[in-house]
């Protein structure tokens, strides 16, 4: 969640840190700060609020140092405030630390520091214990002191440390939280994500778990947890930094909604060979492998979890293998039945989602084969998987995920079709029908986007409605959950989603005059039943927005407004039906004056439990 940037070289460090942190604002944060070595001392500046608060204060003074660390904090321990913002220092102020993650045993360490060392804490954070702990072990060698400190620390963390007595170095550590190193000429960098550094370098080292890094302006050394130096190949970033710019759109979210035709096309076409057969590149799922699999687990969080629900349907429908879908944070703690006959599929946009990563490791420990669906090349989930299916959504900056979801859906359909083809559970005719229909999705998405004015007008009339729920049947239920999540996370409306057949089991009691109900009716075999459900809520005063396939005009007799999607196979409707829900959520949030790209309390990459 938190953003980390560090620099050592010859450039004026303050501008480098602010620029890097600005590229990480999508991660979600409530305060920002920097520590800079200048004029033989460490200078710490940190403030509650957006990054521009820090930047404005820095304009009023001159810090000309060339070594420093910067941080955007998402509060976990202690309220958002100046004193709880990072960096944190030891008592003498000669050691500064930034930290992403949670130190689980910080209270035990804090009690020891207070009772045995007499240290008075300045903040409520778990991070401050790191600075004091390093200080306790510091005897002139910062690297050695950091090693001794982390051996006492439990939890997940990426940290960056600088020291007044050793101003020619930065020490960084990674344990379960993302960390990369940028390589320059006479300068080097650390960051929690690639976009922070693309203005300065495309050459990166991807730091592995339990590794410690020593940076000077001339070199980078990577050590394992035993202190042994590690060799590491240079990872060259190929995507364009301009892809992370708004390009004239008001928000990243609406830009990314409009990038979905391209993302879906890229994800699909990169996986089809000349005969238009699904190829999974380096993923080897032979018939023997699949015959050995008796169960598939799909594990993810949030939007990726909703994509997994559709993935379950596709795999069971096409490949005839039983599938269970679980929220990663629950999977970790319920001792699921997983063995060497299990295929574990992890879905994550960032590839750094901590709960998903921990669930993956648990499944792997029990012998499962791990296939991951991720968007970020070289991410932790990707590196720790046996097989990787990369979506080609491109950088997704807005906190509310849109194009990652639709590309994840395409990925799951392709995996399911490949498995079905290899197992022989689908005919060649059925296979071609679905692949050919998938190829039409980019144009059909574009058609919905080209007619978004109606959705914008609908949002203008409903943005003050505080009672909203989504409903559907079959696959539409899963899309309803994703639509509800989009609305609540960016507009702060307390929406929820249900299976329409559950209406009479409690939910219908909430319907009253003016309640906004978004009813998905895209499944032909369930269409008439959905019309009945719409009549039930309309009879109790609901304002109903229907979502249906073009040609199914009967819904106009029961719904107040109908948003149509191009006709397609029932099994593939989620790729299309989610688009009007994304647009509706976006325009409602804009009408309410919400910070669409950076909704309160949320972060793009959830790297803590």
> Considering the domain boundaries, does residue 604 fall inside one?
no
Same domain, 205 and 257: no
pLDDT at 269 over 90: no
Work out the burial of residue 33: count CB atoms within 10 Å of its CB; fewer than 13 is exposed, 13-18 middle, 19 or more buried. buried
φ, ψ of residue 348 to 5 degrees: the values are -160, 130
Q: Known catalytic residues?
A: 2, 604
pLDDT score, position 396: 83
- pLDDT band (50, 70, 90) for residue 3: confident
Same domain, 170 and 278: no
Same domain, 334 and 454: no
Give the residue-averaged pLDDT of 552-576.
Answer: 96
pLDDT score, position 242: 56
Contacts of 390 (CB under 8 A, 6+ apart): 374, 375, 377, 382
Could you report the per-residue pLDDT of 138-192, keeping only the tens digit for each? 999 999 999 999 999 998 889 999 999 999 999 999 988 889 999 999 999 999 8
Same domain, 259 and 402: yes
Same domain, 254 and 233: no
Could you report the per-residue pLDDT of 227-255, keeping only the tens digit for each? 999 999 898 887 665 555 677 788 999 99
- pLDDT band (50, 70, 90) for residue 59: confident
pLDDT score, position 321: 94
The fraction of the chain above a pLDDT of 90, given in percent, is 70
Mean pLDDT of the chain: 91
Determine the structural domain holding residue 128 and report its residue range.
Answer: 3-238
* Encoded tokens for 461: 């009339």
Same domain, 221 and 337: no
Domain boundary among 238, 256, 289: 238
> Considering the domain boundaries, does residue 340 fall inside one?
yes
> Considering the domain boundaries, does residue 516 fall inside one?
yes
Cα separation, 301 vs 290, in Å, equals 26
* Encoded tokens for 373: 């669906």
pLDDT at 549 over 60: yes
Same domain, 306 and 398: yes
Cα separation, 347 vs 304, in Å, equals 6
At 147, which CATH number?
3.60.20.10
> Considering the domain boundaries, does residue 585 fall inside one?
yes
> Considering the domain boundaries, does residue 608 fall inside one?
no
The fraction of the chain above a pLDDT of 70, given in percent, is 96
pLDDT at 132 over 80: yes
Cα separation, 324 vs 316, in Å, equals 10
Could you report the per-residue pLDDT of 321-350, keeping only the tens digit for each? 999 999 999 998 888 899 999 999 999 988
At 547, which CATH number?
3.40.50.10490
Give the three-state DSSP class for 46. strand
Indicate the range of 177-181, 213-217, 551-555 predicted with least confidence.
177-181
pLDDT score, position 489: 94
Do strands 67-73 and 31-38 pair parallel, antiparallel, or not at all (unpaired)?
A: antiparallel
Give the residue-averaged pLDDT of 464-487.
Answer: 95
- pLDDT band (50, 70, 90) for residue 527: very high
Same domain, 261 and 362: yes
pLDDT at 133 over 90: yes
The answer to whether 131 touches 88, Cβ cutoff 8 Å, is: yes
Tokens 């792997």 sit at which residue?
Answer: 364
Buried b vs exposed e over 115-137: b needs ≥16 C-beta within 10 Å? eeeebeeebebbbbbbbbbbbbb
Could you report the per-residue pLDDT of 429-469, keeping only the tens digit for each? 999 999 999 999 999 999 999 999 999 999 999 998 888 99
Tokens 């790209």 sit at which residue?
Answer: 597
The answer to whether 406 touches 575, Cβ cutoff 8 Å, is: yes
Q: Bigger pLDDT: 296 or 102?
A: 296
> Considering the domain boundaries, does residue 603 fall inside one?
no
Same domain, 459 and 360: no
Tokens 């959830």 sit at which residue?
Answer: 606
Q: What letter does residue 214 receive in the DSSP assignment?
A: E
Cα separation, 431 vs 601, in Å, equals 44
Tokens 């035990």 sit at which residue?
Answer: 108
Domain boundary among 181, 212, 238: 238
pLDDT at 1 over 70: no
Number of domains in the chain: 3
Buried b vs exposed e over 138-170: b needs ≥16 C-beta within 10 Å? beeebbebbbbbbebbebbbbbbbbbeebbebb
Q: Bigger pLDDT: 214 or 281?
A: 214
Same domain, 221 and 350: no
pLDDT at 28 over 90: no
pLDDT score, position 18: 94
Give the three-state DSSP class for 561. strand
Same domain, 342 and 206: no
pLDDT score, position 75: 76
pLDDT at 607 over 50: no
Indicate the range of 6-10, 169-173, 388-392, 588-592 predicted with least confidence.
388-392
Domain boundary among 188, 214, 238: 238
The torsion of the CA quartet 542, 543, 547, 549, rounded to 10 degrees, works out to 100
> Considering the domain boundaries, does residue 309 fall inside one?
yes
pLDDT score, position 27: 62
Q: Bigger pLDDT: 350 or 15?
A: 15
Cα separation, 572 vs 438, in Å, equals 8
Tokens 């989620």 sit at which residue?
Answer: 574
> Considering the domain boundaries, does residue 601 fall inside one?
no
Same domain, 171 and 264: no
């Amino acid at each position: 969640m938190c953003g980390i940037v560090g620099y050592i070289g010859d450039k004026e460090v303050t501008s480098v840190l602010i620029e890097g942190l600005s590229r990480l604002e999508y991660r979600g944060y409530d305060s920002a700060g920097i520590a800079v070595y200048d004029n033989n001392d460490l200078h710490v500046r940190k403030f509650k609020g957006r990054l521009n608060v820090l930047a404005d204060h820095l304009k009023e003074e001159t810090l000309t140092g060339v070594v420093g660390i910067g941080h955007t904090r998402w509060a976990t321990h202690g309220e958002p405030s100046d004193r709880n913002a990072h960096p944190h220092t030891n008592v003498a102020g000669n050691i500064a630390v930034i930290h992403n993650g949670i130190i689980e045993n910080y209270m035990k360490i804090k009690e020891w520091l207070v009772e045995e060392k007499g240290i008075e804490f300045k903040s409520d954070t778990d991070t401050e214990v790191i600075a004091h702990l390093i200080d306790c072990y510091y005897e002139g060698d910062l690297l050695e002191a950091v090693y001794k400190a982390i051996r006492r620390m439990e939890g997940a963390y990426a940290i960056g440390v600088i020291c007044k007595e050793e101003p020619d170095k930065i020490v960084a550590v990674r344990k379960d939280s993302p960390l990369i190193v940028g390589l320059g000429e006479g300068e080097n960098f650390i960051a929690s994500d690639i976009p922070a550094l693309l203005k300065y370098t495309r050459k990166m080292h991807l730091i592995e778990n339990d590794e410690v890094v020593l940076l000077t302006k001339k070199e980078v050394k990577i050590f394992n947890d035993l202190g042994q130096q590690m060799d590491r190949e240079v990872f060259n970033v190929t995507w364009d930094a301009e892809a992370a710019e708004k390009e004239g759109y008001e928000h990243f979210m609406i830009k990314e909604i409009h990038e979905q035709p391209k993302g879906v096309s890229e994800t699909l076409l990169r996986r089809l060979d000349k005969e238009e057969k699904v190829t999974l590149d380096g993923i080897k799922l032979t018939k023997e492998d699949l015959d050995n699999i008796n169960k598939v687990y799909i594990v993810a969080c949030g939007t990726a979890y909703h994509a997994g629900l559709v993935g379950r349907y596709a795999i069971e429908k096409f490949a005839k293998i039983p599938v269970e879908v679980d929220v990663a944070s629950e999977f970790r703690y319920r001792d699921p039945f997983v063995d060497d006959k299990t295929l574990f599929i992890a879905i994550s946009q960032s590839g750094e989602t901590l709960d998903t990563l921990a669930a993956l490791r648990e499944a792997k420990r029990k012998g499962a084969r791990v296939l991951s669906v991720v968007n970020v090349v070289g991410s932790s989930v990707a590196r720790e998987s046996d097989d990787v299916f990369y979506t080609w959504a491109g950088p997704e900056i807005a906190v509310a995920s849109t194009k990652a979801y639709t590309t994840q859906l395409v990925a799951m359909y392709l995996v399911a079709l490949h498995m079905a083809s290899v197992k022989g559970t689908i005919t060649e005719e059925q296979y071609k029908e679905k692949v050919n229909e998938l190829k039409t999705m980019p144009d059909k998405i574009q058609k919905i986007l080209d007619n978004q004015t109606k959705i914008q007008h609908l949002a203008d009339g409903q943005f003050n409605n505080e009672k909203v729920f989504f409903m559907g049947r079959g696959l539409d239920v899963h899309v309803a959950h994703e639509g509800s999540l989009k609305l609540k996370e960016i507009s702060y409306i307390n929406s929820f989603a249900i299976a329409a057949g559950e209406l009479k089991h409690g939910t219908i009691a909430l319907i009253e005059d003016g309640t906004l109900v978004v009813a998905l009716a895209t499944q032909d075999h369930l269409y008439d039943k959905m019309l009945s459900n719409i009549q039930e809520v309309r009879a109790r005063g609901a304002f109903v927005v229907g979502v249906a396939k073009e040609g199914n005009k009967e819904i106009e007799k029961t719904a107040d407004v109908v948003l149509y999607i191009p006709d397609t196979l029932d099994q593939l409707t989620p790729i299309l039906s989610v688009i009007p829900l994304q647009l509706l959520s976006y325009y409602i949030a804009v009408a309410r004056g919400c910070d669409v790209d950076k909704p309160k309390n949320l972060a793009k990459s959830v790297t803590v439990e």
